[in-house]
Amino acid sequence: MSGQVACPQAERQRIVTAEAGGDTCAIIAAGGLGARFGYERGKQYVELCGIPLASWSVLAFDRAASVGHIVIVCPAGRLDETARDVVGPLSLSTSVSYAEAGETRQESVLSGLNAVPEGYQLVAIHDGARPLVTSEAIERCIAAVRDDASLDGAICAARVTDTLKLVEGDQIVATPDRSFYWSALTPQVFRMRAVLAAHRSAVRDGYVGTDDASLVERVGGRVRCVESPRDNIKVTLPEDLAVAEASLRQRLGAEGCGL
> pLDDT tens digits, residue range 5-26?
443 333 343 343 334 569 999 9
HSE (side-chain half, CA atoms, 13 Å) at 44: 27
Inter-residue contact 29 to 107 (CB < 8 Å):
no
Tell me, what's the pLDDT at 20? 53
What span, in angstroms and rounded, lies between the C-alpha atoms of 223 and 18? Answer: 21
CATH topology of domain 24-253: Spore Coat Polysaccharide Biosynthesis Protein SpsA; Chain A (3.90.550)
% of the chain surpassing 90 pLDDT: 80
pLDDT given at position 238 = 87
Q: What is the pLDDT of residue 32?
A: 75
Res 119: pLDDT? 95
**DSSP-derived secondary structure letter, 13:** B
What are the residue ranges spanned by the domains of the chain?
24-253
CA distance 253 to 167: 43
Look at residue 126 and tell me whether its pLDDT is greater than 70. yes
- Inform me whether the pLDDT recorded for 254 exceeds 50: yes
Residue-level pLDDT at 255 = 73
Residue with the larger pLDDT of the pair 40 and 179: 179
Taking residues 161-190, what's their average pLDDT? 97
Q: Give me the pLDDT at residue 36, please.
A: 62
Start-to-end CA span in the chain (Å):
12
Low-confidence winner among 89-98, 135-144, 218-227, 246-255 (lowest mean pLDDT):
246-255
Position 43 scores a pLDDT of 83
CB-neighbour burial class of residue 59 (10 A; exposed 0-12, middle 13-18, buried 19+): buried
Tell me what pLDDT residue 10 has. Answer: 33
> How far apart (Å, rounded) are the C-alpha atoms in residues 26 and 133?
13
> pLDDT tens digit string along 33-66?
665 665 667 788 899 999 999 999 999 999 999 9
